[in-house]
Amino acid sequence: MRKSILNAILLLGLASLPVGCAGCGEDVPGPDPEPASPPEPEADTYCQDQGFTSHAFNTDTGGALFGDLAEDFTVNEYSGDTFTLSEAWTGCDSYIFFSYFSYMDANARNQMDTLWASDFAGILQSGTRNVHYFYISEEMDASAREGRMYMMQTNFDTALQTLFGEDTDEIDFWTSRFHFVTDQLTAVEGGVGDFAIDYLVYRNNADPVDLGDRGQAYPPPPTSFAIDRNQRWDPVGSLSEYVGGPENLKMAAFNSAFYNHRAELKAHLAAQTDITVVELVDEMVTARVFNKDVTLPDADAMATMDTFEIDVEITCPHRNPFGCSEWDRIARMSLCTEYDAADIDTCTASTEIVRWITPYWRRGTRHWVMDASPFLALIKDGGVQRFRIEMGPAWERATERHATMSVRLSNQDKGLISQSVLRAFGGGTFNADYNSTHVPFTFTPPSDATRVEIVTIISGHGQTSGNNCAEWCNHMHFFTVNGSDTPHEVSYSDIGNDVGCAARADEGAMPGQWGNWPQSRAGWCPGLPVETVRFDITGEITLGSENTLTYEASFNGNTPAGGDISKNTYVVWYQ
């Protein structure tokens, strides 16, 4: 795990921000024609054409905190156009703002100028099409703002010509999506101006977060912020490409895909029917590890369920992101299979069913639904069940956040229901002895089983000197059934992709973390679930007889070397 960002500028505090043909017929007249009916208005299919649901514009009273409803606003653009949110609202767009501040300090001023020189191509390539970008300055001098927006508009027009040549449709589309605003940020009429004023007042008066021996962390300036598809303020987060690296506006653009994920997931869950939802948690929590007892439907009802999902939504509410949890820790949910019913703190034996990784310092909301259907066999009796929830190590600095978690049970007509779960292998220290600690696993599925799977959850952690294993290296995992010449493989060839995790924002990877969040890891990304990998081995086994599963791993085809493998592998059969 690389060290998360604690930008010296933020710790020391930036310089204060300024608050600143008529008739052609025959001679014989005829009766007056019926007046023509007005043409039917064309249906607006913009959202539908992109495969997105839409969200009506909300005229309720909003607020200025992250997560609050964003009220309507109007801005004037260098082109002479005006943009009013309610008039332009499609119901499936997001809106990202870039703020320019003029600093007294030369270094801070140079950083801001460099940031605003970010390549337009990078922004277009990193973001989605259903997004608007607004460049707004807080400079008090109107001529300075107009000069700056003239320069930005000119550079943008040149970039579009370079990118799209004579493709006027693309040029016109993106011209309508970039807005170079001549109003002063804090003077913008409506929600944007109100938001900026409120945040700047907060920032100029906020106490820092005490990070102990790592210093004091002040809230960052509102260099970028957004209105997501649900018309809510979002902080966007850090713009750094990597820890200690340059800031780039393209990093904010990744949020547009993240907003799509969040909005579509919300719409999907709202549209589902015949779902049994059992609440696990809906409260402010500071504890990292805790147990929850819930009552599921009875055994007869559970026998009709073929789908078992875990819904996890976590919000860090702090305006200062450094009040949020700071590390990319393993988080998971397990089913307690042995425990003292009278003591909620006990969980003597458990089975991991889903895993995710916490983000580095990121305020706002992350939301995923993870499929745990292979583990339905463990809860087939229904009734009271105990879940163990881990959101990082118990000893880590306590940070308050709102957690909403629930079990979702349904019948999706899959024709298969999990009947048995057997743990075959764990992980361990990834060194020369790793493979010798994993002995072959034997299992005998019943003769009436209709499907047998290997189900495994794997992520690599740690950074051994020389190879950065097992977090940043390509380790390979091989599962072989009954001595087959064709093992089932899990590997991580995307290692080294600087934006491999950022590109997964549409899956729910949370952009803008104050750490090394964009780069590909070995089986995981900060702020994203870890994939549960499933292999169908039904055709490789003999039902009703003993079968053997073997496992070994390698580093680039050689001996395991470095870090730790966090892994749980199961054999699951279905009927």
Structure tokens of 530? 């870890």
Residue whose structure tokens are 């052609």: 24
**Which residues have CB under 8 Å from 38's CB, separation 6+?**
none
Q: Return the bridge partners of 137, or none.
A: 100, 184
Q: How far apart are CA 192 and CA 378, in angstroms?
A: 50
CA distance 380 to 297: 9
| Spatial distance between the Cα atoms of 456 and 434, rounded to a whole number of angstroms | 17
Q: What does the alpha-carbon distance between residue 395 and residue 211 come to, in Å, rounded to a whole number?
A: 15
Torsion angle of the four alpha carbons 470, 472, 473, 478, in this order, in degrees rounded to the nearest 10: 60
CA proximity to 301, closest of 219, 382, 241: 382
**Assigned token pair, 80:** 């002479």
**Angle of helix 168-175 versus helix 142-164 axis, rounded to 10:** 150
Q: What's the rounded Cα separation, in Å, for the pair 414 and 306? A: 7
Tokens of 8: 């010296």
For residue 227, the model assigns a pLDDT of: 98
State the residue for tokens 């009703």.
544
Does residue 237 contact residue 228 with C-beta atoms inside 8 Å? no
> What whole-number distance in Å separates Cα of residue 162 and Cα of residue 204?
41
What values do phi and psi take at 217, rounded to 5? -115, 110
Per-residue pLDDT of the chain (575 residues; tens, 9 = 90+): 444 444 433 333 344 444 333 333 334 444 555 555 555 545 579 999 999 999 999 999 999 999 999 999 999 999 999 999 999 999 999 999 999 999 999 999 999 999 999 999 999 999 999 999 999 999 999 999 999 999 999 999 999 999 999 999 999 999 999 999 999 999 999 999 999 999 999 999 999 999 988 899 999 999 999 999 999 999 999 999 999 999 999 999 999 999 999 999 999 999 999 999 999 999 999 999 999 999 999 999 999 999 999 999 999 999 999 999 999 999 999 999 999 999 999 999 999 999 999 999 999 999 999 999 999 999 999 999 999 999 999 999 989 999 999 999 999 999 999 999 999 999 999 999 999 999 999 999 999 999 999 999 999 999 998 899 999 999 999 999 999 999 999 999 999 899 999 999 999 999 999 999 999 999 999 999 999 999 999 999 999 999 999 999 999 889 999 999 999 999 999 99
461 φ, ψ to 5°?
-140, 160
Q: Measured between alpha carbons, how far is 547 from 86 in angstroms, rounded to an integer? A: 64
- Give residue for tokens 């499929």: 371
pLDDT of amino acid 43: 56
Inter-CA distances, 6 with 13, 159, 515, 517, Å: 12, 34, 8, 14
- Other C-beta atoms lying within 10 Å of the C-beta of residue 52: 20
Which domains can be identified in the chain, with CATH numbers?
8-14+52-256 (3.40.30), 272-415 (2.60.120.230), 416-575 (2.60.120.230)
Do 450 and 471 touch, CB atoms closer than 8 A? no
What is the spatial distance between Cα 520 and Cα 500, in angstroms, rounded to a whole number? 5
Give the type of residue at 155: N
Distance CA 322, CA 6 (A): 9
The predicted structure's pLDDT at residue 306:
98
Q: What are phi and psi of 6, to 5 degrees?
A: -135, 75
Tell me how far apart the alpha carbons of residues 566 and 525 are, in angstroms, rounded to a whole number.
14
Contact of 214 with 208, CB cutoff 8 Å: no
Tell me, what's the pLDDT at 496?
Answer: 85
Per residue, the 3-state secondary structure of 217-257, as one string, reads ECCCCCCEEEECCCCEEECCCCCECCCCCCECCHHHHHHHH
Radius of gyration for the chain, computed over Cα atoms and rounded to the nearest angstrom: 28
How far is the C-alpha of 274 from the C-alpha of 269, rounded, in Å?
A: 11
Query: Are 363 and 65 contacting, i.e. CB atoms less than 8 angstroms apart?
Result: no
Give the model's pLDDT for residue 15: 41
